[in-house]
Amino acid sequence: MNATKSALYKKLEDSLVGAVSPRLIESGQGAYLTIASREMLNMCSSHYLGFAQDDRIKKAVHEAIEKYGIGTGYRTLAGTHVLHIELETALARFKGAEAAILLSSGYMANLAAIQTLFGKEDIIISDALNHASIIDAVRLSQAKNKFIYKHADMGDLAEQLKLAGELTKIPKVNGEAPQILIVTDGVFSMDGDLAPLPEIVELAEEYGALVMVDDAHGEGVVGRGGRGIVDHFGLHGKVDIEVGTLSKAFSAQGGFIAGKKTLIDFYKKNARQFLFSIALTIPDTAAVLEGVKILEESAEPVEKLWENAKYLREKLSALGFDCGNSESPITPVMLGDEDKSVMMSAKLFEEGVFATPIKFPMVPKGAARIRLIPSAAHSRVDLDLAISAFKKVGKELGVIA
């Protein structure tokens, strides 16, 4: 190997010292997981509704595989399957949007949503705590004017919009006015708080800005029967671009964008992530089709999820834990100290509770925590097990009195 190349590999190797491998999961994703042959209570996956183990969904997937097999193809070549169109129609109906386009993940959907529509001379204004895939999407657009507003701070957003408004007076090379995009997570994944979407929409209207929301942790969770954050705030037709993932509450893989038909058709014609990456597989597509059907028939899974979330938070708060200011089932147990979060997670593991630590760079330094996500699959007994483990371990570590 030449010297430059071996120096690179040496550097990579050095950077890996102390890296922790994730725990190996030996079972399906249910209320419990098998790790190292031990049954562990699963308190940190984002299978909000228990759909990863749902019998109806498993049956629908089996049937689809029997009928169609596994793979599809590239959407614009020979890969657009009738199930893809059925799912796009179902997702659009579920979200109350005109149309939807499927992509291979939520990450890809964010890249497609922004890169396809906005360029160098457009202006993008982004919440400081937005997901990494939104940050990458903004980079990919090559927009020169990127602004970040303080998390959910509408005064700051108004300031940035004023600046952006001035910039729109300078026409683009092609003579058009630059577009302004305001982009935000719907439910913030680390804290569980909601974007102040009604205020964002109001400000956007004042400046003619477009609004995009990433509803990854909102679908299947907030809004009527889990229809998402736009439904939660009754803002149908006022949010231009809604991105979703099929990997969280829907327990499969894939992502989508919902919006006006013209916009979605434009993405279908132009989005590089759509044109040059594979379409969803049959099992994923069939799983989500059945998931949407379940949610359209009954709000029960979503109600169960919220009941569990409320119970868990009330009990942990009563014990003296700081559960932050979440407005969703995401339940952070704030610890602050990085080492304490690692230690707490390890001790919980000994008690049979699987809950991973969240620390820098996922959250700012000094804001380490254990993030719990209860699901509709948990019973009261399960939650009580988690609560008593937290009580024991929290006392041992001096987190609670």
Ligand X SMILES: *Cc1c(COP(=O)(O)O)cnc(C)c1O
Residue number, 185 or 193, with CB nearest to ligand X: 185
List binders of ligand X among 106-165 (CB under 6 A). 106-107, 110, 131, 133
- What region, left, alpha or beta, does residue 368 occupy, with left being phi > 0 and alpha being psi -120 to 50 degrees? beta
Given 46, 104, 189, 341, the catalytic residue: 189
Binding of residue 267 to ligand X (CB under 6 A): no
Residue number of the CB closest to ligand X reads: 106
In terms of CB distance, is 81 or 371 closer to ligand X?
A: 371
Q: Which two tokens stand for residue 345?
A: 């997670």
DSSP 224: G
Catalytic (active site) residue 189: yes
Signed CA dihedral, 118, 120, 126, 130: sign only = positive
Q: Name the amino acid, one letter, at 62.
A: H
CB of 383 to ligand X, least distance (A): 23
Segment contacting ligand X by CB under 6 A, of 30-38, 99-107, 166-174, 205-213: 99-107
* Residues present in the chain in total: 401
Please, what is the minimum distance in Å from the beta carbon of residue 246 to ligand X? 7
Applying CB under 6 A, does 105 fall inside the site for ligand X? yes
By CB under 6 A, residue 52 contacts ligand X: no
Q: Which residues pair with 211 in a beta bridge?
A: 182
Token pair of 231, please? 């439904």
Return the bridge partners of 100, or none: 258
| Given 245, 281, 308, 328, the residue binding ligand X (CB under 6 A) | 245
Q: Pull the structure tokens for residue 90.
A: 């179902």
Q: Which residue, 57 or 383, has its beta carbon nearer to ligand X? A: 57
340 is known as an active-site residue:
no
CA distances, 53 to each of 58, 59, 85, 90, 153 (Å): 7, 10, 25, 21, 39
Q: Give Cα 2 to chain centroid, integer Å.
A: 43
How far is the CA of 19 from the CAs of 13, 14, 179, 329, in angstroms? 10, 10, 43, 30
Among 47, 95, 217, 304, the active-site one is 217
- In the shown chain, the binding pattern of residues 209 to 238 toward ligand X, with x for contact by CB under 6 A and - for none, equals -----x-xx---------------------
Q: Is 248 noted as a catalytic residue in this protein?
A: yes
- The residue (of 160 and 245) whose beta carbon lies closer to ligand X is 245
Instruction: Kindly report the number of other CB atoms within 10 A of residue 282's CB atom.
Output: 20
Stretch touching ligand X by CB under 6 A, among 67-75, 105-113, 147-155, 311-319: 105-113
- Could you count the other beta carbons within 10 Å of the beta carbon of residue 362? 14
45 binds ligand X (CB under 6 A): no
State the number of binding residues for ligand X (CB under 6 A).
14
- Residue 394 engages ligand X in binding (rule: CB under 6 A): no
356 contributes a contact to ligand X by CB under 6 A: no
Question: For ligand X, which is the closer residue by CB, 75 or 340?
Answer: 75
**Interface residue with ligand X, options 178, 225, 255, 394 (CB under 6 A):** 255
- Return the number of the residue (107 or 118) whose C-beta is nearest ligand X: 107
Q: Is 29 in the site for ligand X (CB under 6 A)?
A: no
Give the nearest distance from C-beta 99 to ligand X in angstroms: 20
When the beta carbons of 244 and 357 are compared against ligand X, the nearer one is 244
Which whole-number Å values give the CA distances from 186 to 115, 183, 193, 244, 318, in the listed order? Answer: 20, 9, 8, 10, 28
Q: Indicate the residue among 255 and 374 with the shorter CB distance to ligand X.
A: 255
Q: How far is the CB of 192 from ligand X (least distance, A)?
A: 11
Angle separating helix axes 82-95 and 282-297, nearest 10 degrees:
30
- Judge contact between 255 and 119, C-beta under 8 A: no
CA–CA dist 397, 399 (Å, integer):
6
Report if residue 185 touches ligand X, rule: CB under 6 A: yes
Beta bridge partners of 44: none
Binding mask 55-84 for ligand X (x = CB under 6 A): ------------------------------
Pairwise CA distance, residues 23 & 352, whole Å:
14
Alpha-carbon dihedral angle through residues 358, 364, 368, 373, given to the nearest 10 degrees:
-40
Of these, 45, 247, 251, 375, which contacts ligand X (CB under 6 A)?
247
Q: Rounded CA gap, 146 and 258, in Å?
A: 24
Q: Which residues are catalytic?
A: 189, 217, 248
Residues that bind ligand X (CB under 6 A): 105-107, 110, 131, 133, 185, 189, 214, 216-217, 245, 247, 255
